[in-house]
Structure 1
């Protein structure tokens, strides 16, 4: 189902450019820069492959992410909670919710606790789509990580969590 996608220059291109920058700028943190660039490249490729997979189901990868955040919620989410959980800008979340509403995959209604707030929930069609998509998503993720040992995954999660905590503490 997935065709190989170009790696946007890939590792070798990044490594070559960072070697030049390191030579030009003493003290340049090459290892940190390489990790930041690799994270960006991995994110791009995850999104590209995700969009390619989701196209078969009539949604985009960002729409899928919103649906999955709602799937992981007991009682629905506010648009701001979706924005935070899906790592999307609030303006983009509004657009994504509107698209999902138009496709009949979510509902949006006032909160029972506070009528000024909106709650977005999966519709039955949204729940059905997630059930349809899940086997392909599981298979895709297993392929992505097939060369990585479980202990390496746990270690990578720990390291990325520490990096995220450092980023979140920045002003």
Structure 2
């Protein structure tokens, strides 16, 4: 385990003395996920910076279909917010910047004229192609410590957590769910 995560667990042990009912294993797991994600994003930002891309612009571009790809499903702003996990106001800012840079274009939705869809341009494809060796190489380097089975297990477990959070969000509740019954 990394020294950073060891230090977090040691601090959580101190917390346990003051708050015996704190779900320490759960807190430690979420902190570990947060740190791993943050550390990887820092590396991704470094890889993208020479190309004038941010992690958010990259994550947005890879979710967009190519301009003129008749077989691709158009991506509306609402769909894009879901796919990227970004808030609508921030996503609008990101997309405005992508359009300004010539990396994306806005198009009317083929199903609903009230909706606006986005597509990536050939310039975006070139940028993604240029960044691919560095970005995908870093991802593969990080993930190679896990077997395919471990990756599948982790993906399944994270999906379960995501579904749990989506269920609560769908209920419109910001309150703490009732305590688990033993």
TM over 0.5: yes
2:43 corresponds in structure 1 to 49
- Does the 8 Å CA contact 2:74/2:109 hold for their aligned counterparts? no
How far does the alpha carbon of each residue in 1:106-158 deviate from its partner, in whole angstroms, 9 at most, with x for none? 00122233221111001111122222222222211111112222221111111
Q: Give runs of ≥4 in structure 1 deviating > 3 Å.
A: none
Greater relative CO, 1 or 2 (CA 8 Å, sep 6+): 2
State TM-score, norm by structure 2.
Answer: 0.83
Structure 2 runs not aligned, ≥5 long: 174-182
* Partner Cα distance (1:75, 1:131) in 2: 21
1:132-171 paired onto structure 2 within 5 Å: 132-170=130-168, 171=173
- Does the 8 Å CA contact 2:106/2:119 hold for their aligned counterparts? yes
1:16-165 paired onto structure 2 within 5 Å: 16-71=10-65, 74-165=72-163
2:179 corresponds in structure 1 to none
Q: Radius of gyration: which is bigger?
A: 2
Q: CA, structure 1 residues 75+154, in 2 after alignment: closer, same or farther (shift >3 Å)?
A: closer
Moved more, 57-66 or 154-163: 154-163
Q: CA, structure 1 residues 34+74, in 2 after alignment: closer, same or farther (shift >3 Å)?
A: same
1:11 corresponds in structure 2 to 5
TM-fit CA distance, 1:91: 0.6
Q: CA, structure 1 residues 71+20, in 2 after alignment: closer, same or farther (shift >3 Å)?
A: farther
CA RMSD of aligned residues (A): 1.9
How far does the alpha carbon of each residue in 1:58-82 deviate from its partner, in whole angstroms, 9 at most, with x for none? 1100000000111499143111111
